[in-house]
């Protein structure tokens, strides 16, 4: 029996984090596409990590509970990494809210019940959540604390008709939900935080940069303070710190890692994006 790291969403960012916290542990890779989980497992196995794969749909509580039961076969669950989600160009408003908002909320809730003493977790959110207009105190409270099975019944969520807006609300909801659940994780001396990346080079992002909308993306990167995209390893370095003993005093927090793009969106050369967002 070993300490267990559960990675949900087996893409480049999730793998980068798992490499940094998974040495000597059992890494459980959960993905909607079992083939993607198996491909990631092969890469990690060839780098010296021990893995197991399982199909998981985070929009289903039953599927999440099945993931937990699978992981518990190998030992105590020490770490949770959630890098799963869908984008505004991939899915409908309903699917985005089901996966990115509700699914993340259920993960936080269920893993908070069983995370081992002194454990830690990170939720990958997005810079998009920082571009949403300021919400009222009541709206923040509802997104943070509404029981998960009633989360999608919130009135202002049911009025969303645009996929980008749904994504922004989901990601803002992730950050608020992490704050709420951190109070419960703390009872197990465990920490939970969120990370909000900007454009990070992954296979999907590379496709976007060289696709029909590539010129717009490249212009946005050129006008950002960092003047480039980020890498999965940079997100992994931040997550490693948060999940290590050095990050034990940090919980319920969100960390924006976007090369200054959001700063420029509000106050710099990227203010033109406000017209399209």
Q: Is the pLDDT of residue 258 over 90?
A: yes
Beta bridge partners of 27: 5, 51
DSSP class of 251: -
Contact in structure between 234 and 12 (CB atoms under 8 Å):
no
Burial degree of 1 (CB within 10 A; 0-12, 13-18, 19+) = exposed
H or E segment at 77? strand 77-82
Is residue 51 classed as helix, strand or coil in its secondary structure? strand
Which residue's entry shows tokens 């990050």?
Answer: 247
Which residue's entry shows tokens 């990167």?
Answer: 221
- Domains in the chain and their CATH numbers? 4-275 (3.40.50.720)
Angle among Cα 7, 10, 11 to the nearest 5 degrees reads: 130
- CA torsion sign for 18, 21, 27, 31 is negative
The band of 209, judged by pLDDT with boundaries at 50, 70 and 90, is: confident
pLDDT of residue 276: 65
The band of 207, judged by pLDDT with boundaries at 50, 70 and 90, is: confident
Q: Is the pLDDT of residue 155 over 90?
A: yes
How far from the centroid of its chain's Cα atoms is residue 232's Cα? 13
- Please tell me the distance from the alpha carbon of residue 142 to that of residue 126, in angstroms, as a whole number: 20
pLDDT of residue 216: 84
pLDDT tens per residue, range 31-85: 999 999 999 999 999 999 999 999 999 999 999 999 999 999 999 999 999 999 9
Which segment of 148-152, 177-181, 211-215, 263-267 scores lowest on mean pLDDT? 211-215
Point out the catalytic residue in the list 171, 180, 217, 248: 171
- Please tell me the distance from the alpha carbon of residue 48 to that of residue 39, in angstroms, as a whole number: 15
Active site (annotated) includes residue 219? no
- Token output for 81: 């990494």
| Burial 68-94, CB ≥16 within 10 A → b, else e | bebbeebeebbbbbbbbbbebeebebe
Which residue's entry shows tokens 């923040």?
Answer: 140
Q: Is the pLDDT of residue 188 over 80?
A: yes
Q: What order of strands is seen across the sheet that includes strand 50-55?
A: 50-55, 26-31, 4-8, 77-82, 120-124, 191-197, 254-257
The band of 277, judged by pLDDT with boundaries at 50, 70 and 90, is: low
Active site (annotated) includes residue 167? yes
Mean pLDDT of the chain: 95
Point out the catalytic residue in the list 25, 165, 167, 265: 167
Q: Where on the phi/psi map is residue 103: left (φ > 0), alpha (ψ -120 to 50), or beta?
A: alpha
pLDDT tens per residue, range 108-131: 999 999 999 999 999 999 999 999
């Amino acid at each position: 029996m070993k300490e267990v790291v559960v990675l949900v969403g087996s893409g480049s960012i999730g793998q980068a984090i798992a490499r940094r916290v998974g040495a000597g542990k059992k890494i459980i890779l959960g993905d909607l596409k079992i083939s993607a989980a198996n491909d990631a497992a092969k890469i990690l196995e060839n780098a010296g990590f021990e893995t197991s794969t399982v199909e998981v749909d985070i929009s289903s509580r039953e599927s999440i509970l099945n993931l937990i039961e699978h992981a518990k076969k190998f030992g105590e669950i020490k770490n949770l990494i959630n890098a799963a989600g869908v984008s505004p160009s991939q899915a409908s408003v309903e699917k985005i809210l089901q996966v990115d908002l509700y699914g993340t909320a259920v993960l936080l809730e269920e893993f908070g019940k069983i995370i081992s003493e002194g454990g830690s977790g990170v939720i990958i959110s997005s810079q998009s959540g920082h571009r949403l207009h300021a919400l009222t105190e009541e709206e923040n409270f509802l997104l943070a604390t509404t029981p998960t099975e009633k989360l999608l019944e919130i009135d202002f969520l049911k009025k969303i008709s645009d996929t980008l807006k749904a994504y922004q609300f989901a990601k803002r909801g992730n950050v608020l939900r992490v704050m709420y659940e951190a109070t419960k994780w703390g009872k197990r001396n465990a920490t939970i935080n969120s990370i909000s990346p900007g454009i990070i080079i992954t296979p999907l992002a590379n496709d976007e940069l060289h696709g029909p909308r590539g010129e717009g993306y490249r212009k946005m990167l050129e006008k950002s303070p960092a003047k480039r995209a980020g890498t999965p390893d940079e997100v992994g370095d931040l997550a490693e710190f948060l999940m290590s003993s050095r990050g034990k005093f940090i919980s319920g927090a969100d960390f924006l890692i976007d090369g200054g793009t959001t700063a420029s969106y509000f106050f710099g050369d990227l203010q033109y994006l406000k017209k399209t967002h």
